[in-house]
Amino acid sequence: MSWIHNTKSLWSHSSSKLKLKTPEMSSVVAPIEPITLAIVGCGQRGKDYAVYALDQPQQCKVVAIAEPRLKTRSLFAEAHSVDNTLVFNTWQDLFKASAETIETVGKRLADAVVVAVQDHMHKEVVLAFAKQGYHILCEKPMATILSDILEMEQAVKEAGIIFGMGHVLRYSPYSKAITEVVRSRELGELINAVHVEPVGYFHFAHSYVRGNWAKEVESSFSLMTKSCHDIDILCHWLSPAHPTRVSSFGSLQHFKKEKKPALARSATRCLECPIERECPYSAKKIYLDPVSQGNTSWPASTLVDGIPDIENITEALRNGPYGRCVYESDNDVCDHQVVNVEFSSGATASFTMVAFTSLVCERQTRLHFTHGEIVGDMTTFTVTDFRTGKRMKHYPANEGGGHGGGDLGLIRTFVEAVRTNDQAVLGTDVDEVLKSHMTVFAAEKSRKDGKIVDCVEYEEKVRMELRKP
């Protein structure tokens, strides 16, 4: 450690609060080591979380990855300078290498694993790496089957690991600022919440008509895959009260064959459709035109392995699912849904998820208190105090990234929770994650059965059935 005593400089970094003092100072604090991450799934969500390691390398570092797509894997490994021996085709290969390392040298390959694979794979990946003692950040939803979520809950508890959930809305500067007002009770008691998720007409067509979340049997229902973190943020704001009753209505209203314009005739793909230029859901408009203008980001980036260009996007539209007519696709999930929730405090909340919007995921929220209200649009919010008539508009700083800074906020908070070995840093735990997911499943049951669902009875019944031999 003699090099420390020879230095004449003062090192500091505000986010990590580390300081290296000069010899004249009474003590020395060595630089912190970055938290090491293994990324399982290097697609859009994996990249969104891993960018924090590039922006703040002193905080965390990606040291291992698992990704089956060759070009995606190579580009990701190169961006993060991952050693070739820690670049794997599948999560099973990564798991096997980890097991060998633990057995031979008694050490895991990384401090934590980020699980960003397809939704239906979450359970098997989380169970495997939890058993090896890795801290885990799992993309939402936790799983697509309720029994899987309960199994994951038990595994996380038994492992005693830090567990983060991809409920990114909680971690944006905007949501955190609203939460501060709610928790302060300066506006009195929160009585009612109205929350709208405008998915965006082309976003819905991309993800829930043509994409990975289009069919419930292959993924889950759209309320879960798209909006479980909306239900979660409502539960968060209304806590410690818990949901007691829920009702829901919705359907697949538009994206089906009987709604296909007659002038489209027998065309099944956008590139061969006679009215493609008039259709708002034209795959050429959504993917090919932006790429032709040099925009290779989402959503075109999800269509191909590697960097999108005119040739490979054209090929994808000619032969892949993203070039299909939205009225000729095999999708079956709701394109609009409303959810009403009653809480144990007597408070109520209503939530709307709808595909047919120009806004893309820019939620609108109204929170009604006994002495005031909050009205927000995910960028700014206005607080009105009924007693004074005072109205103040808030402009929370957005540091960039998806979900109004929520993606960055989550990964940063997760890294800090791992560094301090403190689940409380995340502001939630696996029990709370389970509760909000349970409310989503209850809402979908209400939609399908056409009945109000008692949330407490529903959870008790589910747990009882799973205990049966």
pLDDT digit string (tens) for 65-103? 999 999 999 999 999 999 999 999 999 999 999 999 999
Q: Residue 335 in contact with residue 254, Cβ under 8 Å?
A: yes
What span, in angstroms and rounded, lies between the C-alpha atoms of 152 and 453? 24
d(CA 167, CA 254): 28
pLDDT value at residue 464: 87
Give this prediction's pTM.
0.90
Band (20; pLDDT cuts 50, 70, 90): very low
Which tens digits make up the pLDDT trace of 151-186? Answer: 999 999 999 999 999 999 999 999 999 999 999 999
| Residue corresponding to tokens 């819905």 | 204
Of 254, 435, 417, which Cα lies nearest the Cα of 343? 435
Hey, which residues does 369 pair with through a beta bridge?
190
Q: Are 133 and 161 in contact, with CB atoms under 8 Å apart?
A: yes
Q: In what order do the strands lie in the sheet with 243-251?
A: 391-394, 381-385, 372-376, 364-369, 190-198, 348-354, 336-343, 243-251, 453-454
Measured distance CA(343)–CA(451) in Å, rounded: 17
Q: Contact, 154 vs 393, CB < 8 A? A: no
Q: How confident is the model at residue 424 (pLDDT cuts 50, 70, 90)?
A: very high
Distance CA 409, CA 265 (A): 48
Which domains, from first to last, does the chain contain?
A: 35-161 (3.40.50.720), 169-255+331-403+425-467 (3.30.360.10), 266-319 (no CATH)
**Number of DSSP helices (H) and strands (E) in the chain, helices first:** 15, 17
Q: What is the mean pLDDT of the chain?
A: 92
**The pLDDT of residue 30:** 58
DSSP state of 135: E
As beta bridge partners, residue 136 has 113, 163
pLDDT at 16: 35
- Has residue 10 got a pLDDT over 70? no
- CB 401 within 8 Å of CB 407: yes
Quick one: pLDDT at residue 32? Answer: 82
Strands 35-40 and 60-66: parallel
Residue reference for tokens 């040739």: 311
What's the confidence (pLDDT) of residue 14? 30
Contact between 225 and 141 under an 8 Å Cβ cutoff? The reply is yes
**For the segment 347-361, what is each residue's pLDDT rounded down to a tens digit?**
999 999 999 999 999
Dihedral sign of CA atoms 41, 45, 50, 54 in order: positive
pLDDT at 111: 98
Q: What is the mean pLDDT of residues 235-245?
A: 97
Residue of 38, 42, 52, 45 lying closest to 72 (CA atoms)? 42
The total number of residues shown for the chain amounts to 469
User: Which of 197, 204, 223 has its CA nearest to residue 403?
Assistant: 197
Helix axes 146-159, 455-467, angle to 10 degrees: 80
Are 125 and 142 spatial neighbours (Cβ–Cβ below 8 Å)? no
Distance CA 253, CA 389 (A): 43
49 contacts 57 by C-beta, under 8 angstroms:
no
Contact of 149 with 143, CB cutoff 8 Å: yes
Query: pLDDT tens, 109-139?
Result: 999 999 999 999 999 999 999 999 999 999 9
